[in-house]
Chain A
């Protein structure tokens, strides 16, 4: 490879792996640019329904970029609709996530003809305090999906490079770890300092999915609490589907344009969906629901241990296939639970 050099990583660990031939796992930077140029960039009303948005943008074989971070502002409502709609041969791109990839993995285990994941470029997949992700473990130990490992900064920087319209980005991590050997980045000698520096390829998802605090009808979005890497994912993706807790007047956006984190041309479909990250959290609105996350996780863990799919199927039949919309799911969750997670957030100060 042109200009590539080596760190001293060889043989430090026991690792056995196969070299990956480099390819982009989604649109190339040139393809991503072309799609963006050919779109209308008018201030258009992007409001639609989840059903319409998913039917329009979610296609077999796409790279799906998932926003949020572990249990924070995770686009659960969009994932539910994707599962109802069905999509095969997905590539997932994420830095850290919990229930979103687990829900897709569960759908794949129940019916691979409806939903399937081919590969995942990621940094972390689990539930933090609630535990490991059982279905990630199941799929990987059975050799059912291909993974490509980066650090959280690595994946975030890859989205950032794509959002900047550059094909790669130099970073100061991955080198000297086994990620240097297994992932699609590359060590080079810096042309200016003469020192080794690691390059990561840009990551343009075909479709990015994010949940935000507030947006106007054109998609100008505000995010309060941790931004995670949602602005970069939205801007990097060739198409972005966005759910928002609340649609706000454009007047508000234009009064404080500094507060816009995602500009309107980056958004293709916008859906007002209160509690759209539940059972994850959304700063200023609700905290994460440890009970629901724990319940789903333990159902997955039981399947992993026993191979019995009954409880898993029951969860999907009740909460996803048994619902026409995400509002139906929230109705099943119930007012008292939604009230409780709202109280746990403590009403963080936000400007909308």
Chain B
């Protein structure tokens, strides 16, 4: 097995989760990389939508570094603005959302607004919802990329930015007036999570080879559902790594970043 970095594992896993003939709503960085990898491998008819306004671009100028980037608009089928992109999503044209955040709870609620719970004077202020809150509400399935750390997998988020299953009650999303079916996968470099249909709580699906479910539970501040049939995560092959390193992100803008401890 080749050596790979945490970000490469996340991008590869993100790619595996995506299916062909779907539309994925992408943000800058790992989501774009995962979608590009899927297009180059098992999902040639997967298309991207970017919130600045482009649908199904051909990324022949290389990986976009910004959602509104010229590269993300290049040779798209349809190119308008934010209203158009999000209204297509509200209407049901976007199958997957890829979002990130600073904190997540057991129901897949994500925070990307503040750290520290005082809204008017937070300890840390993040950029804010951006598109994420709308994507989590109205793309059909939400895929969340997170770093697997106790301070991020928390019992309660400081600010609920992107809706998951809320308090876990069966009608939470309906009462919230949102349309998508909610959190679908949570991708980290050491584990892949899904959600239990019955309770809507986070459930461990796969762990990285060499790790046990108990290792993962130690990195999470709430109780995970751990089924008896947890699988091993697939690892990227030499060819997958070649695509990621040489074709998709040759400059290493995202994949060569060092994980902050």
Residues of A within 8 A of B (CB): 7-9, 11-18, 68-73, 95-96, 122-126, 128-129, 132-133, 136-137, 140-143, 146-147, 149-154, 156-157, 160, 171-180, 182, 187, 195-198, 225-232, 281, 283, 287-288, 290, 345-346, 348
Contacts and interface: CB of A to CB of B under 8 A. Distances in A.
- Chain B, interface residues (CB within 8 Å), range: 35 or more
B127 A136 contact: yes
A128 B67 contact: yes
B163 A345 contact: no
B90 interface: yes
A176 B122 contact: no
A54 B112 CA distance: 35
Contacts of A71: 66, 68-69
Interface stretch (B40-48, B144-152, B175-183, B190-198): B175-183
Contacts of A70: 52, 66-68
B67 A129 contact: no
7 contacts: A126-B128, A175-B178, A176-B163, A177-B133, A232-B81, A281-B68, A290-B65
In the A-B complex, list the 7 residue pairs whose CB atoms are closest, starting with the nearest: A176-B176, A72-B68, A227-B81, A126-B127, A124-B130, A226-B52, A153-B86
Given A152-B129, A172-B138, A179-B161, A13 B117 contact: yes
B231 interface: no
Interface of B: 28-29, 50-54, 61, 65-70, 72-74, 79-84, 86, 89-90, 107, 109, 111, 113, 117-134, 137-138, 156-163, 166-167, 169, 171-179, 253-254
A178 B28 contact: no
Contacts of B82: 69, 95, 152-153, 156, 227-229
Contacts of A68: 68
Contacts of A172: 90, 137-138, 177-179
A13 B89 CA distance: 26
What's the dominant secondary structure at chain B's contact region? loop
B156 A13 contact: yes
A15 B121 CA distance: 11
Contact of A175 (B29, B70, B128, B137): B137
A179 B119 CA distance: 11
A130 B177 CA distance: 35
Nearest to B72: A226
Given A150-B129, A228-B53, A15 B117 contact: yes
Contacts of B83: 153, 156-157, 160, 229, 232
A152 B134 contact: yes
A11 B160 CA distance: 10
